[in-house]
Structure formats: C-alpha cells, structure tokens
Amino acid sequence: MAECFSLQNVLETFKSSLSDNKEVYIKYYIAGWRELVSFMNSLGTVFSFISKDAVNKIQILENFLASENGSHYLTIQSMLKFELDNELVDLTKRANHPESGCRTLLRLHRALLWLELFLERLRTSTEESKTSVMCSEAYNESLARHHAWIIRKATGVAFCALPGRDAFFEVMNAGSHEEVVNLLGEALPLISEVYQITEDLYAKNNLLELP
C-alpha cells in the first residue's frame, strides 16, 4: 500500500536534514519535498503543474546524488563548494550549466519560504480564515517576486481550488486540529532553521539571484 502523507513525516525528514554541525543533507531535504509533493497531489489535479515542476527539480538533485560525483552532493554546503570550485554554475545567465544543483535547489529554497509563511498562517488561523487567502498572502510575500506574470496568474487560479481549512487539517493526517497546531508549532522552527542556514549560505556566496 502506498504510504500516505502525514505532517509528522515532513517534520521527521526536515529534522534529519540537519547535521550536528548545521549542514543540510540534500537527501533528506529532497525527501521532505517529496512528502510535500505527495500531499499536494492529494489536493487535486489543479496543482499538477506545480508538482510537476517540483518533481522535476527534486529529480535533478537526485540524479546528481546518484552520479559519480554524488559524494559532493551530500550537503548543500558541499554541493556549493564543489559546483563553484569546478565552475559548474551559470552565475549571470543560463548557458553551459542551465540545471546546476545550486540553481535548482535555490528554487526549492524559495518555495520553502512560502511553506514557512503559509504554515505559520495556518497555525495561527481561526475558523473564519480562508486557506486560499493564507496561501496567496504567503505567495505574494515570497515566491511571487521570482515568478513571471503568467505563472502568478496560474498560481492564483490554483489557490482558489484549495480545500477549506477543515479539510486541510484533515489531509494533514496529524490528528485533531489542536494536535495539528501543536505539530506545526514544532515543525516551523525547524523549517525556519533549515531555511535560514541555506539563505545565509547562498547570500554569503552571492548566489541568491542565480538565473
């Protein structure tokens, strides 16, 4: 039987992604994303253009991990060093390395901010809150500024198809509303820490605008 999504799993994978010295293991980082994609798929086909792109990016990173250079892709830190040292990153415009690990992971990293903002809204939401509003507010504060008009349009349409708050809590598969809220309270600092470590690393290397 296919394993079904649970918020607990997402929490576990992001927890595993942090090493003792605060490096981020790519294997678990993308496992976290796989979980999220399976969650999104359970919400309906309107989201398939989003999950296709996410899966595509996860796959690119998995291919690097499975390649002969795989050992360099153990953590985000080692990937950055390896790709930069070997000039495997297109820094100003897409050319010889249009699908570097660095630029690919950056897309997921930006989406992680959306996730953090959205889950924080969900955690503190009330019965009247609308998931579509929480989702698009989080989107406008994060991913939107990196997306072309046409993508922003399509995304706006998809948000309208989101299930309501109750149904949303239900699919998260983590028990009562109260339990979901507690679990979110546990998950958010972790997601936020992984986000911040990655953000600082990219900023320090001037990679936040990779094409």
Taking the least distance from each CB to ligand 1PZ, the nearer of 50 and 188 is: 50
DSSP secondary structure letters along 48-87: HHHHHHHHHHHHHHHHHHHSTTGGGGSBHHHHHHHHHHTT
Dig out the tokens for 125 from the structure.
């939401």
Query: What are the respective helix, strand and coil percentages of the chain, to the nearest 5?
Result: 70, 0, 30
- DSSP state at residue 89: S
Among residues 50, 84, 188, 197, the one that binds ligand 1PZ under rule CB under 6 A: 50
* Residue 76 within binding range of ligand 1PZ, rule CB under 6 A: no
Helix (H, G, I), strand (E, B) or coil at 24: strand
CA-based torsion, 91, 93, 96, 100: positive or negative: positive
User: Closest separation between CB of residue 94 and ligand 1PZ, Å?
Assistant: 9
* Residue 5 within binding range of ligand 1PZ, rule CB under 6 A: no
Among residues 38, 88, 114, 181, the one that binds ligand 1PZ under rule CB under 6 A: 114
Among the listed ranges 11-19, 50-58, 122-130, 179-187, the one in contact with ligand 1PZ (CB under 6 A) is 50-58
User: Closest separation between CB of residue 57 and ligand 1PZ, Å?
Assistant: 6
**Residues within the interface to ligand 1PZ (CB under 6 A):** 36, 39-40, 43, 47, 49-50, 53-54, 107, 110-111, 114, 135, 139, 143, 151, 155, 162
